[in-house]
Structure 1
Amino acid sequence: MKQFEHVLHTIDRSLRVLLAIMLTLLVVDVTWQVLTRFVLPQPSSFTEEVARFLLIWISLLGGAYAYREHSHLGFDLIVRNLSVAKAKIVFQLCCLLVAIFAITVLIIGGLNLVLLTWTLGQHSAVLNVPMAAVYLVLPLSGLLFLLYSIYFFFNAPNHSIEQEDII
């Protein structure tokens, strides 16, 4: 389990850096888009597509990172009134549901979408980037959600659960 925690810690660090870089690129891209549209006579043609693709990647990877940090919104009114043992069971059930969603929708569905767009040879209109590369974030974020769910599921009984950690 120590090795799994070390791997997750490495993934967390890498994910933080990647998200910071992508967010910085998004800010620079949108700033350039505004400058070229309103200051320069010729608007930039690629900035809107870059911003859209960065936003997709930031949203999905950021969602996985927020799940890792227990930063998602949660409805904890019911859980507050449960005993610690029952709260742990609810927490583990939520981890199981997240894992099922990650496997079925994000990983399997995402891989099917990546395969379909790769087979059809779909490319973006302006940048001519394969859409399979853009959609690759779906199974990648699904894998992150799955790894974090597995970690939370098996570590829930080993620590006391704070109200913010549940759901």
Structure 2
Amino acid sequence: MGSLQNMVVAVLKQLIIALLAGIVVVVSIQVFSRFVLGSSSSITEELARFLLIWIGLFGGAYGYYSNAHLGLDIVTNKLSAIPHTLVAILAHLLIMGFAIVVMVLGGISLVSLTLEPVQISAAMQIKMAYVYLAIPISGGLIVFFSVVKLSELVPMLSRSKEGV
């Protein structure tokens, strides 16, 4: 699982970097066209919005992987090893359940709803299903990272029980 995990994380990092570079370029073009040329482009405004959606969703998946998300650990830090591990397992199971139900299944439903009948974006004239595709993909990444985290925690739990 380690090499697959490393490959997924490397691809995810490159995707986020490309999306961030893209939004910098798009917003720079938008600012230049608005203030220098005197006319703003609705295409760059819409593209920046779509890129921001993708950055937020994929950045959230990467933040979950790297434990960069917010969390209150005042109570859990006071727990001994076994209860602390059990709470961590429960938290990851809840996150995985949310990602499966809301992001993957709900995201697939949203993509299919906007694919047929086709919902088109106003300025760029692309299918909105392509924009919404980030939801089930990032949800799938969160599920994958949950499985990785759980596979690291469960052996720790069995080792803690053996030491008792």
TM-score by length of 1: 0.91
Q: Deviations over 1:76-111 (max 9, x none)?
A: 011011001111001000110011001100000000
State the distance in 1 between where 2:154 and 2:124 align: 49
Identity of aligned pairs, percent?
41
TM alignment of 1:74-93, pairs within 5 A: 74-93=71-90
Aligned equivalent of 2:136: 139
SS at match of 1:77: coil
Aligned equivalent of 2:126: 129
Does residue 107 (structure 1) correspond to residue 104 (structure 2)? The answer is yes
State the distance in 2 between where 1:65 and 1:153 align: 16
Could you list the runs of 4 or more consecutive aligned residues of structure 1 that deviate by over 2 angstroms after TM superposition?
Answer: 157-160
Q: Deviations over 1:16-51 (max 9, x none)?
A: 011001101101111111111111122222111000
State the distance in 1 between where 2:62 and 2:38 align: 40
Q: CA RMSD in A?
A: 1.2
Aligned equivalent of 1:164: none
Gaps of 5+ in 2: 158-164
State the distance in 2 between where 1:8 and 1:139 align: 18
Aligned equivalent of 1:48: 45
State the distance in 2 between where 1:20 and 1:6 align: 21
State the distance in 1 between where 2:78 and 2:56 align: 33
Count of residues paired in the alignment: 157
TM-score by length of 2: 0.92
